């Protein structure tokens, strides 16, 4: 039913006390967002009492969906014991040991409260370690809300020269921020080498999401990542992986799948078991910039709720449940949905493709090969199709991100995947008829 009267009413109330009724840009949809009241397994209920398959999963964070018993038990116990203290707790050591044990490139880790902070600390650690100001990033890649990480996020076609320009995402971004972020096209070894040849001595690190969501959700090539490591290291710079999303691709994250060892890795989302979290991890020699045991560290970092034991224990429960079998199950569901969606697009003669890996997929309505941010930049027609696709799925009981992203969860079964695919097929038929 294209009818959400309670959500509409809640939004009117919200508009009076929050700008545009909104406290999180990413969850706004036009004309109003769907308010959610509860979740169970792979479904959520909206304020009008309707249940949906949830393929957003809080923008990929809820890999076990909702109310997973182990997470509920751990958190309930900790609520009784106290939720945050002015001192460390044993739980942070446990989660640190687990994560460091899973990722060969991570010798040490440090927690924070969001992926934004994880990325920010990784960038600042690269600067502190190298004593250099600049970073290199990929055109159109999203890394959270730190000024430097936001550069070129929505670079418009007018700025598309041979080399990407450093464009501001938010009005009022200081020119100094733009000067210190060098932007390169995705999967382009020659362009990366050219930037390092010109600016190598001032570059602290190169920031890369191995499967950048907003830049198309296609994987970085292994030879590109290898060339990136070689080029950066030759210039004395570091490689920073943003695995805030891609850590859900496998037991050792994307870096495990690709067999690459970055110097630093930013984490977030799934490692907090549904609670606010971020982290930076990496080689011990680099992570030493945070070490306070020999006086003021090169890079001091605090945070009132950092490593709070609720997040730590929820994260531990979530990570323990993410066994190799759980990843195999997620991969199976992802394959069913990607293959089925691509078959439907082909059958209907709709331009577009369904891309991604493991539990993540994305539907693009752009024609032509999907290679980078520019290749998936939606024109008017593609935007209208994305909107119709999102709305059609909503009306068929499936929540997806408004820009075409889907994230699956472990409680989903093959039967659920079949039902989600049927909704996708029906919706694509409508989109094709309207085309």
Residues carrying an active site annotation: 142, 242, 269
Among 96, 119, 225, 401, binds ligand PMP (CB under 6 A): 119
Among 59, 169, 305, 403, binds ligand PMP (CB under 6 A): 59
Read out DSSP for 315-356? HHHHHHH--HHHHHHHHHHHHHHHHHHHHHHHHHT-S-EEEE
Shortest distance, position 145 Cβ to ligand PMP, whole Å: 6
Shortest distance, position 405 Cβ to ligand PMP, whole Å: 10
Contact window for ligand PMP (CB under 6 A) among 5-13, 142-150, 183-191, 195-203:
142-150
Nearer to ligand PMP, 214 or 385 (CB): 214
Rounded-to-integer distance, Cα 185 and Cα 304, Å: 37
Among 185, 268, 356, 392, binds ligand PMP (CB under 6 A): 268
Q: What is the DSSP letter of 35?
A: P
State the binding string over 234-263 for ligand PMP (x if CB under 6 A, else -): --------x-xx------------------
**According to the binding rule CB under 6 A, does residue 143 interact with ligand PMP?**
yes
Contact window for ligand PMP (CB under 6 A) among 71-79, 114-122, 129-137, 398-406:
114-122
Nearer to ligand PMP, 55 or 417 (CB): 55
Between the two ends of the chain, the Cα-to-Cα distance in Å is 23
Among 150, 180, 188, 209, binds ligand PMP (CB under 6 A): 209
Shortest distance, position 339 Cβ to ligand PMP, whole Å: 25
Among 142, 148, 196, 373, binds ligand PMP (CB under 6 A): 142
**According to the binding rule CB under 6 A, does residue 114 interact with ligand PMP?**
yes
Cβ–Cβ under 8 Å, residues 155 and 167: yes
Contact window for ligand PMP (CB under 6 A) among 110-118, 174-182, 229-237, 324-332:
110-118
**According to the binding rule CB under 6 A, does residue 115 interact with ligand PMP?**
yes
252 Ramachandran zone, left/alpha/beta (phi>0; psi -120 to 50): alpha
Counting Cβ atoms within 10 Å, is residue 65 exposed (0-12), middle (13-18) or buried (19+)? buried
Rounded-to-integer distance, Cα 45 and Cα 40, Å: 8
Per DSSP (E only), the strands in 108-176 are 108-112, 134-138
Rounded-to-integer distance, Cα 31 and Cα 4, Å: 11
Interacting residues of 296 by C-beta distance below 8 A, sequence separation 6+? none
Q: Please give the size of the binding site for ligand PMP, defined by CB under 6 A.
A: 15
Nearer to ligand PMP, 238 or 423 (CB): 238
For the chain, the helix, strand and coil percentages under 3-state DSSP, each to the nearest 5: 45, 15, 40
Half-sphere exposure (CA, 13 Å, Cβ side) for 355? 21
Interface residues for ligand PMP in 351-390 (CB under 6 A)?
none
- The CB density around residue 396, as the number of other CB atoms within 10 Å, is 17
Q: What is the DSSP letter of 130?
A: H
Nearer to ligand PMP, 119 or 181 (CB): 119
**According to the binding rule CB under 6 A, does residue 213 interact with ligand PMP?**
yes
* Site for ligand PMP, rule CB under 6 A: 59, 114-116, 119, 142-144, 209, 213, 242, 244-245, 268, 278
């Amino acid at each position: 039913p294209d009818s959400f009267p309670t959500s509409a009413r809640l939004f009117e109330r919200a508009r009076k006390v929050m700008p545009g009724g909104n406290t999180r840009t990413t969850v706004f949809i036009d004309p109003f967002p769907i308010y959610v009241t509860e979740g169970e397994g792979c479904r959520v209920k909206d304020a009008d009492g309707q249940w949906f398959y949830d393929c957003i999963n809080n923008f990929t964070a809820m890999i076990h969906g909702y109310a997973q018993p182990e997470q509920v038990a751990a958190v309930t116990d900790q609520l009784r014991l106290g939720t945050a203290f002015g001192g460390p707790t044993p739980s942070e050591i446990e989660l640190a040991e687990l994560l460091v044990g899973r990722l060969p490139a991570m010798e040490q880790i440090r927690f924070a409260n969001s992926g934004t902070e994880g990325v920010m600390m990784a960038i600042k650690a690269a600067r502190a370690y190298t004593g250099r100001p600049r970073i290199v990033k990929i055109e159109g890649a999203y890394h959270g809300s730190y000024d430097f990480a936001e550069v070129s996020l929505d670079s418009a076609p007018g700025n598309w020269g041979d080399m990407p320009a450093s464009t501001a995402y938010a009005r009022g971004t200081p020119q100094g921020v733009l000067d210190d972020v060098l932007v390169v096209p995705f999967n382009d070894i020659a362009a990366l080498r050219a930037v390092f040849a010109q600016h190598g001595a001032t570059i602290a690190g190169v920031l890369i999401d191995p499967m950048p969501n907003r830049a198309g959700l296609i994987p970085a090539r292994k030879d590109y990542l290898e060339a990136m490591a070689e080029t950066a290291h030759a210039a004395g710079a570091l490689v920073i992986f943003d695995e805030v999303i891609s850590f859900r691709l496998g037991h050792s994250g994307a870096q495990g799948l690709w067999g690459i060892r970055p110097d630093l890795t930013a984490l977030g989302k799934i490692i907090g078991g549904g609670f606010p979290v971020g982290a930076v991890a990496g080689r011990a020699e680099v992570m030493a910039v945070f070490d306070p045991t020999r006086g003021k560290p090169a890079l001091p970092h605090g945070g009132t709720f950092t490593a709070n034991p609720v997040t730590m224990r929820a994260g531990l429960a979530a990570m323990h449940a993410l066994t190799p079998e759980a990843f195999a199950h997620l991969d199976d569901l992802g394959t069913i949905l990607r293959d089925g969606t691509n078959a439907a697009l082909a059958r209907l003669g709709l331009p577009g493709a369904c891309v991604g890996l493991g539990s993540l997929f994305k539907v693009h309505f752009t024609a032509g090969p999907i290679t980078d941010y520019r290749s998936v930049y939606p024109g008017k027609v593609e935007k209208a199709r994305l909107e119709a696709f999102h709305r059609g799925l909503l009306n068929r009981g499936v929540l997806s991100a408004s820009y075409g992203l889907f994230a699956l969860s472990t409680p989903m079964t093959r039967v659920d995947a079949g039902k989600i695919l049927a909704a996708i097929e029906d919706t694509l038929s409508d989109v094709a008829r309207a085309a």
